[in-house]
Amino acid sequence: MAPRLNFESLGPAGIVHGAAALGLDPQVLQTLLDHIPMRATAVGRDHRYRYANRAFLDAMGLAPGQVIGRHVAEVLGEAMYQAYLPVADRLFGGESLRWEGWMDYRGRGARYYEQTLLPYASEGGAVDAIITFGRDVTELKQREAELAAKVAELEATEALKSAIVDHALAALVSTDAEGRVVEFNPAAERMFGLSRAQAIGQPVGELIIPPRHRAPHEAGMARMRTGGAPRIMGRRVEMEALRADGSEFPVEMVLWRAEVGGVAHYTASMYDLSERRAQAEEIARQRDALRQSEKMTAMGSLLAGVAHELNNPMAIVMGRAALLESKCADPALRADAERIREAAERCGRIVRTFLGMARQKERRVEPVQVNDMVRGAVDLLQYNLRSSGIEISLQLAEGLPAVSADPDQLGQVLLNLLVNAQQALAPQPAPRRVAIDTGVLRATGGAAAGVWLRVADNGPGVPAALRDRVFDPFFTTKPEGTGTGLGLGVSRSLVREAGGDLVLEEAGTAGGARFRCWLPLTADGAAAVVDEAAAVIAAPLRARVLVVDDERELAALMQEMLEAAELEVAIAESGSVALAMVEEARFDAVVSDLRMPDLDGPGLWRALRERHPALAQRMVFVTGDTLSPSAREFLQSTGCACLEKPFAPADLLARVQGALAPAAG
């Protein structure tokens, strides 16, 4: 039912009648209507204002006489009146309405209003007026809009921060002033092996800081809580961190402080340095290995030069001792000469083994006697092994077939195995033993298929967990600074390149480490077994040989060696003299030193190739070493035989016999 209020006389003077109708004091009603914080109006069916309170009049900037009794179109304007008519029809039909929105009264600017429109009817009568209560909430709406914009901006900022934090590569861990975790991003979850739910609220020191560092951490947190100066704030520091599984790893950390609602918070940004450290250590190892290699190369070149200079006197000692042994009728003197010869041969093997290791040349495959290679390697390391208190025992099978291998590379493999054994035994108590044995590898049916070699020691051996890794590059069980981790890997590669293999055998009851390699035979190795004692020419050659060497004593020695085989020998002290002698007399072969003043060996060969091509093909070159690439290339291009110093008489006779063979045929 509509309110019971008589508006027929309502106006500035009609309040008295309205108050009486409501049982109110007229002054009270007037004061109430004029001071409520809302606009109150009454409009009759004639669309004229019957009442307007003070709030409405002030908002419109009108006096009471400009509103009361005036038409709506006159007060609000024609446009507002036309918008008002459809609403009025609904209200005069008895419908109550509530509306809000932006309105522009009398061109005073758009304002936001909330309005309640009620139909009014006298008691028992039809609706004859519209009562409107409204308020201007423009400022409120503006504040709401501003607040909504700030909220949206904050949400966007938070979303951006969340996206950055969640997708950051660095682990971000935030704590409150007490050191309890308040943020733990996905990168931190992956780094430390903890979920965010497990980390939130926990003391950060117990989660990610190793126990030995927790006391300094707690002391630092306490110092900052009491206003003390931070020591690592904003600086990049490297430290150890703790994973959930208890393992420690290196991190780089930057710590900063932020105030949130007046409360201090600390955030640490951390990067895992494990891979970077491993790479740095690897680079350092490779740098050390390269530096060591450079030092070894320089030392090798120096020692190779020294060894080269030793070859001439060593060849003289070996040759003279062999000749003296053959001339001695007294058994005691012959025994002394034999001992001199054996010592000289041992020196020769050491020199040849060393020079073989120092050569930088392409791989060459040729028949190799494994037993000779073992003896040379042992001779080379004899002093080091003996001074380390290591006993060497050799059990070398007699009459081994030759294997197909690069002699220098095979020597490198043997020396590496022996050096490894020596280093493994160094910290062990006596007795320290290394055993080397060889044998024939038999195929199905019993035929020889290859030759095997084993190097075994009684040291600590290789732990079972590491047996599968000993041949991996850069892996080593030696103390830091002792090895590079390349020796065994390179050794296996060299042996496999030769068609064989290098393996780590089970230690057995004796313990220690046992490395066994095998190599295939030469093409005719299965049928040919070398007689190591055979080293003489069966029958005299009866030919004329010219020996060319600027070392007079060595030339005389070679002359005597060849004359012992009933060869006719002449000596020339240089290539020029030899060339003149060839023009004056007939010679069936030429034995020439490679490097000489005046006309050297290559120059002599070129001259003979032009003047006496057949004789140029029957030359034997004698040299102290073939380290020089130019010397190697020259020898390969000629196809002539080469004899390296020092040498035994049988070696010289064998080369000369080979050179004379085409002429004999």
In a domain? residue 283:
no
Q: Is residue 213 part of a domain?
A: yes
Is 294 contained in some domain?
A: no
Pairing of strands 171-176, 181-184: antiparallel
Q: Judge whether residue 185 has pLDDT over 80.
A: yes
Segment 458-505, tens digit of pLDDT: 888 888 777 777 777 655 655 544 444 456 777 888 888 888 888 888
If asked whether residues 491 and 388 sit together in one domain, one would say yes
Provide the residue type at 577 as one letter. V
Strand partners, 392: 434
Note whether 104 and 240 are same-domain residues. no
Q: Are residues 513 and 378 in the same domain?
A: yes
**Beta carbons within 8 Å of 374's beta carbon, 6+ residues apart:** 394, 396, 414, 436, 438, 453
- Mark whether 488 and 580 lie in a shared domain: no
Q: Which two tokens mark 617?
A: 């093909």
Residues 506 and 395 in one domain: yes
Q: What angle do CA 564, 570, 576 make, to 5 degrees?
A: 145
Which residues are CB-neighbours of 396 under 8 A, at least 6 positions away? 371, 374, 375, 436, 437, 438
Of 151-165, 219-233, 316-330, which gets the smallest average pLDDT? 151-165
Counted residue by residue, the chain has a size of: 665
Final residue belonging to a domain, choices 506, 534, 562: 534
Question: 489, 514, 534: which is the final residue of a domain?
Answer: 534
- What does the pLDDT look like over 473-483, one tens digit per residue? 655 655 544 44
Q: How far is CA 465 from CA 81, 327, 473, 488, 536, in A?
A: 98, 61, 17, 17, 54
Give the total number of structural domains in the chain: 4
Partners of 519 in the β-ladder: 451
Cα separation, 190 vs 173, whole angstroms: 12
* CATH number, domain with residue 193: 3.30.450.20
518 vs 308, more confident: 518
Among 333-337, 512-516, 632-636, the range with the most confident prediction by mean pLDDT is 512-516
Task: Answer yes or no: do 517 and 566 share one domain.
Answer: no
Residue 54 in domain: yes
- More confident position, 549 or 532: 549
Taking residue 540's Cβ as centre, other Cβ atoms within 10 Å add up to 10
Q: Is the pLDDT of residue 315 over 70?
A: yes
Lowest mean pLDDT among 46-50, 571-575, 638-642: 638-642
Q: Which residue has the higher pLDDT, 624 or 391?
A: 391
What is the model's pLDDT at position 533? 35
The pLDDT tens digits of the residues spanning 417-433 come to: 888 888 888 888 888 88
Write down the pTM of the prediction. 0.40
Helix H or strand E encompassing 407: helix 407-425
C-alpha separations of 503 from 417, 454, 455, 513 in Å: 12, 10, 11, 11
φ/ψ of 341, rounded to 5, equals -60, -45
Question: Is residue 648 domain-shared with residue 591, that is, in the same domain?
Answer: yes
Residue 197 in domain: yes
Residues sharing a CB contact under 8 Å with residue 655, sequence separation 6 or more, in sequence order = 591, 620, 641, 642, 643
**Residue 350: inside a domain:** no
**245 with 371, same domain?**
no
**From the CA atom positions of the chain, what is the Rg in Å?**
55
Check residue 356 and report its DSSP letter: H
Considering 534, 565, 588, which residue would you say is the last residue of a domain?
534
Determine contact, residues 37/58, Cβ cutoff 8 Å: no
Kindly state whether residues 558 and 504 are assigned to the same domain: no
* 20: its two tokens: 């009486």
In a domain, 198, yes or no: yes
pLDDT of 547: 93
Q: Is 313 exposed, middle or buried (0-12, 13-18, 19+ CB in 10 A)?
A: middle
Distances in Å between the Cα of 232 and the Cα atoms of 7, 562, 576 are: 81, 85, 82
Contact between residue 6 and residue 21 where contact means Cβ atoms under 8 Å apart: yes
- pLDDT of 163 > 70? The answer is no
For residue 432, the domain's CATH number is 3.30.565.10
Structure token pair of residue 209 = 């800081």
Q: Is residue 326 part of a domain?
A: no
Q: Are residues 379 and 235 in the same domain?
A: no
By C-alpha distance, which of 407, 338, 346 is closest to 375?
346
**Which residues pair with residue 116 across a beta bridge?**
98, 133
**Domain shared by 122 and 193, yes or no:** no
Neighbours of 245 (CB within 10 A): 7
For residue 215, CA distances in Å to 192, 209, 255, 267 come to: 20, 10, 18, 19
Domain that holds residue 453: 361-534
The whole-angstrom separation of Cα 524 and Cα 323 is: 33
Q: 624: burial class by Cβ within 10 Å (0-12, 13-18, 19+)?
A: buried
How does residue 100 score in pLDDT terms, banded at 50, 70 and 90? confident
Q: Residue 581 CA to chain centroid, in angstroms?
A: 67
468/587 same-domain check: no
- The answer to which of 4-8, 161-165, 308-312, 368-372 has the lowest mean pLDDT is 4-8
